[in-house]
Amino acid sequence: MLVSAQSKGLSLPRCESTQHRLHIDESVHVSRHGVRAHPFEYAGPVLGTSSVLANLVEWMADWDIACPDQARALTLKFIPSTILLLQIHCRAPIAVTWQFGSRGFSRLDYRRHSVSRRLTGVLVARPRGPLGTICVHLTPEGAATLLGERLRYLLDATIGLDDLFGAGQVSLLEEMLSEARTSAERFACMESFLAANLRARRVEPIACRAAALLRRNPHLRISHLAAALSVSERHLSRNFQAMFGTSPKQFARIARIESVWSARAQGATWADIAYATRFTDQAHMINDFNEIVGVPPAQLVHAVEKPRVANMPLSN
């Protein structure tokens, strides 16, 4: 699930580097909450990938904002995605709103740890105070390896980590995270937790291979995908549905939306994005985005500016 820090004009595209990175917006900004946020006060979340769990973890983000006003100035947006999102909140509760067009609901999320997989709408999260959140983005095939057949039940749903891994292990993880002083230490805690919970799960190899191919080429026709995997379309669809709880066609549509959002975060125009992602035209792209996210892309991102990215050492 891609995240937009709206009040800072920041966006988190997929992180390809194995280094921890910071997204920096160099302009001084006054948010809609009236908080003057200087980039050197808060430059954005620390992003990192895992060399230990490279096939499981796509990237991790560490949000660490001790200042309540600065945290409350942020608005985080999670759009539909093919990944599984694991979150642990270490500080104040977060107010969460789910929106799909004119429909939606709000709640104060007191759950300190959760796993979610959203295929429709937008989740809007607003910190209520100091923000300390670790987000781990699991690849579809990685999530399948970690959760097995339970993954298909996580469809537009959010459940607690303790429901999957037990209260004792999750409590120990929270204790370790609370004692960690740096992003690198918190990432290491998450890696250890995930590695300890890897089991011999029953996975559908055809479905996992199909998911990986569709994420790389979301415009791929299902008939061509089935042929590439040497299976029938029916066999592919049945295996894919059993593993991921959705059809390969719908999965591909969401992967395409991810590509649209990621390209926009890099500064591409809507016309160029439509061409690059092989939509018939810009109107086709907007309609598809609207059907899945609930709003047109321009309305969601408000012309998000491309952030500058710099490799920086982690600080204590």
- Please report the sign of the dihedral spanned by the C-alpha atoms of residue 254, residue 151, residue 60, residue 131: positive
* Interval 288-309: pLDDT, tens: 999 999 999 988 876 333 333 3
* Interval 271-288: pLDDT, tens: 999 999 999 999 999 999
Query: What CATH number should be reported for the domain holding residue 121?
Result: 2.60.120.10
Upper half-sphere CA count for residue 91 (Cβ side, 13 Å): 17
Residue ending a domain, among 180, 201, 222, is: 201
Whether residue 307 is contained in a domain is answered as no
Q: Are residues 277 and 193 in the same domain?
A: no
Rounded Cα gap, residues 86 and 94, in angstroms: 15
**Is the pTM higher than 0.85?**
no
Whether residue 312 is contained in a domain is answered as no
Q: Which residue has the higher pLDDT, 42 or 218?
A: 218
What's the average model confidence in pLDDT over 178-207?
90
- The answer on pLDDT for 71 being more than 60 is yes
Chain center to CA of 162: 20
Q: How many structural domains is the chain composed of?
A: 2
Contacts of 64 (CB under 8 A, 6+ apart): 45, 46, 131, 132, 183
Q: Are residues 246 and 104 in the same domain?
A: no
Lowest mean pLDDT among 28-32, 56-60, 63-67, 271-275: 28-32
Lowest mean pLDDT among 103-117, 179-193, 238-252: 103-117
- SS3 of residue 170 by DSSP: helix
Q: Are residues 196 and 226 in the same domain?
A: no
Query: What CATH number should be reported for the domain holding residue 210?
Result: 1.10.10.60
Q: Are residues 176 and 215 in the same domain?
A: no
- SS3 of residue 55 by DSSP: coil
**What is the pLDDT, as a whole number, of residue 110?**
55
- The answer on pLDDT for 23 being more than 80 is no
Q: Are residues 210 and 136 in the same domain?
A: no
Write out the residue range of the structural domain in which residue 244 sits: 205-301
Residue ending a domain, among 201, 234, 252, is: 201
